[in-house]
Structure 1
Amino acid sequence: MKFKQLLLALPLACLMHLASDAMAQPSPESALVQARAGFTTKIIRQGEKFPALPAPPAGVFERVHYKSPAGALAAYVTPKPDGNGKYPAIIWIAGGDSSSLEEMWKPRPRENDQSAAAYRKPGLVLMLPSLRGGNDNPGRREGFYGEVDDVIAAADYLASLPYVDPQRIYLGGHSTGATLVMLVAESTKRFRGVFAFGPVAAAHYYGEDYNYYDIKDMQEAKRRAPILWMDSVRSPLFVLEGAVGGNVQDLQEMRQKNKNKAIRFMEVANKSHFSILAPANDMIAAKIVSAARSGGEVDISPADISELSQRR
């Protein structure tokens, strides 16, 4: 979904000031983790209620449950690929209300394909987790906080599958899901690569949509602001956005403040917040499979970005 940033939201300069001590820690890898340690978020509102995760068609997804700190949460996982051996895998976090999932197997138009269907291909395992408080899951939505732990728990589940290569688990997400994905990348280095499509610099920019705490509370807000913790990222993180509208301003603001070589910010010409998804996910899925076969790494080059601008 496309969001309007709130002009009266917390000034980013205030968050930067509050986070300055944590950002100056000698071990930046754990800066966000340290900031979260001992802090208890206060949830003041509920999200929309959704039914249980729908049953998927046989052979497309399996409906499973994975154990998180909030309890047993539902997820979709593609079936085991044909053949023996261990395969690369990716977790995808949907946009909008990232906590709940609907019928993710339905075909979507190329200009707005938020289904992550590109990753349902031979030689690759896709996991779509629902999160705390979503669908009929236990727990309450926390809005970009406890959900970080749920995504990490989903990776633990994937790593336990006998046909998944635990060293080649990737993470991707779109819009609100991308904002959460950045916070996850700032909290752990367990992912081989991370792809964030159209995040915002700070989650309170969404206002009361998808935030369940007091968005005027700076202590809450700073722990949900990816721009403050970029030095903590240790996995390769690719932040992408269509240059036509979307959250380009956030991408540019984060790029301006970033000093971490593990993060690359990329704008794709001729693409929007939504039309970037189908061609970029096609490209990334192919790169993940190829890298697993060759023993190499996934990279997105300037030439790739140029090519994406022309792909449909």
Structure 2
Amino acid sequence: MNRRAFLLSSALLGLSGPAPAMAAEPPLILEDYAVARAAFQTKLVRQGPAPDKGDPLTPPPGARSIGYGSGNRPLSAWLSDDAPKPGEKRPAVLFLHGGNALWHGHWDLTRPYREAGYVAMMPALRAENGQPGYFSGFYDETDDVLAAADALKALPGIDPTRIFLAGHSIGGTLTLLGAMASPLFRAAAAFSPNPDARAFFKRYPEDIRFDAENAREFDMRSVVCFAQSFKCPVLMLHGSKETRSEERISVTARRARAKGLAVTHGIVIGDHSSAIPGESAQALRFFANT
């Protein structure tokens, strides 16, 4: 199955398959991730668009287009088309899509949250779907996640104390990075994330655009290295048939809990795709109780 077919079946970059033998645990870096980001700039040795093409950014049913800015880049997102009523304050979820492009089918993942009364926003990130900027593989894209969250928070009718973050696959990894980089979020739920950039890019070396000779480049993309930097309660979930990153997710949760952080690792029956409904149900309960 080619990469586009994986994406269309919501199985791109999954954790499924036999678990490989794991190398020694990645380093635990005690420096706060937000502080580390302020002092680090990724060095891209290849500049270009994201690996996947995606759909036109015309909004699917139930969404409208909205612009947001990240640095000097104008970017686009989809937003629930049922705006809050005058005087109403509603919770909001920033949902990060899987893969390296936005497809119309991704919007369906926001349905449980919209039905539960959340305003949902799904951003396209830099270099995706023909947008400006260069693909960096998790790092600069985290700036876009935070910029989209700021734009969502500023919308009329949004309760700024109830901004939640969720995502699947690559979006799950970006969810964790965002939850370490900013205190904006009330809680975060990551489905099928990969906390270890070294393991991820070993599997997908064609996606490396940065200086792979610099170990810090991998550290700054690795949630497991900064697991004690989470700034909100976090729920990490994956399907029972997914094993590829389970050990690293467990290490991330253990390291975070060792510092007293509210980070939970759970397993839902299913695979990379079929577990999503159960993961969404758990995330909604988690958000409601946070």
2:90 to 82, 87, 90: 87
Please state how far the C-alpha of 1:232 moved relative to its aligned partner: 1.3
Question: Cα distance, 1:203 vs. partner?
Answer: 1.9
Residue matched to 2:102: 101
SS in 1 for 2:211: coil
What is residue 260 of structure 1 aligned with on the other side? 259
- Cα separation, 1, equivalents of 2:21 and 2:137: 19
Matching residue's letter, 1:127: M
Corresponding position of 1:244: 241
What SS does structure 1 have at the residue aligned with 2:278?
helix
Q: Assess, with a 3 A threshold, how the Cα gap between structure 1 residues 287 and 33 changes in structure 2: closer, same or farther.
A: closer
Give the secondary-structure state (helix, strand or coil) at the position aligned to 2:240.
strand
Q: Report whether the alignment pairs 1:127 with 2:121.
A: yes
Compute the displacement of 1:204 (Å).
2.8
Partner of 1:278: 277
- What TM-score do the two structures reach when normalised by structure 2? 0.82
Report the AA paired with residue 33 of structure 2: L
The structural deviation recorded for 1:201 is 2.5
Q: CA deviation at 1:175?
A: 1.5
Q: Larger Cα Rg: Structure 1 or Structure 2?
A: 1
Shift of residue 245, structure 1, vs aligned partner: 2.3
- Partners of 1:250 and 1:71 lie apart in 2 by 33
**Alpha-carbon separation, structure 2, partners of 1:146 and 1:6:** 29
SS in 2 for 1:244: coil
TM-score (norm 1): 0.76
The equivalent residue for 1:55 is 58
Q: Is the 8 A contact 1:251 1:265 kept in 2?
A: no
Give 1:206's match in structure 2, choosing from 200, 204, 218.
200
| Residues 1:221 and 1:119: Cα distance change in structure 2 (over 3 Å) | same
**1:189-244 CA deviation, whole Å, 9 max, x = no partner?**
11011001121221232222544213342011111110111211121111112232
Residue 156 of structure 2: aligned partner: 162
Structure 2 letter corresponding to 1:32: Y
Cα deviation, 1:36-86, whole Å, max 9, x if unaligned, reads: 23322111233336367431245x101111011151111100123463401
Secondary structure of the 2:144 match is helix
In the alignment, what sits opposite 1:303? Answer: none
Partner of 1:138: 132
Deviation at 1:12, TM superposition (A): 5.3
- Paired residues of 2:126 and 2:135 also in contact (CA < 8 A): yes
RMSD between superposed Cα atoms in Å:
2.8
Kindly tell me: are residues 265 and 230 of structure 1, through their superposed partners in 2, closer, same or farther at Cα, counting changes over 3 Å? same
For residue 301 of structure 1, what is the aligned residue in structure 2? none
Which residue of 1 is the match for residue 79 of structure 2?
Answer: 77
**Structure 2 residue identity aligned to 1:74:** S
Asked whether the equivalents of residues 62 and 77 of structure 1 are also in contact (C-alpha less than 8 Å), the reply is yes
Structure 1: distance between partners of 2:240 and 2:24? 23
Question: Identical aligned pairs, as a percentage?
Answer: 27
Contact 2:253 2:265 (8 Å CA) reproduced? no
Q: Which residue of 2 aligns with 1:36?
A: 37
* CA spacing shift, 1:105–1:240, aligned 2, 3 Å: closer
Q: Which amino acid counterpart does residue 167 of structure 1 have in structure 2? A: T
CA distance 1:287–1:220, shift in 2 (3 Å): closer
Q: 1:224 to 1:102 in 2, by over 3 A?
A: same
Give CA deviations for 1:285-304 in whole Å, capped at 9, x if unaligned: 4665xx4xxxxx43xxxxxx
Task: Tell me the SS of whatever aligns to 2:160.
Answer: strand
Deviation at 1:94, TM superposition (A): 1.3
Shift in alpha-carbon separation, 1:265–1:179, aligned structure 2, 3 A: same
Tell me if the contact between 2:84 and 2:158 (Cα under 8 Å) persists in the aligned partners.
no
One-letter amino acid of the counterpart of residue 186, structure 2 = R
Does the residue aligned with 2:104 lie in a helix, a strand or coil? Answer: coil
Deviation at 1:120, TM superposition (A): 2.6
Quote the residue 2:231 is aligned against. 234
Contact 1:175–1:199 (8 Å) recurs in 2: yes
In structure 2, distance between residues paired with 1:277 and 1:161: 28
> Are the aligned partners of 2:60 and 2:104 in contact in 1 as well (CA < 8 Å)?
no
- In 1, are the aligned partners of 2:54 and 2:102 still within 8 Å (CA)? no
Q: Tell me, what secondary structure is at the counterpart of 1:89?
A: strand
Distance 1:37 1:286 in 2: 34
* Residue 133 to residue 274, structure 1, CA distance change in 2 (3 Å): same
Counterpart Cα distance in 2 of 1:203 and 1:223: 9
Aligned partner letter, 1:141? F
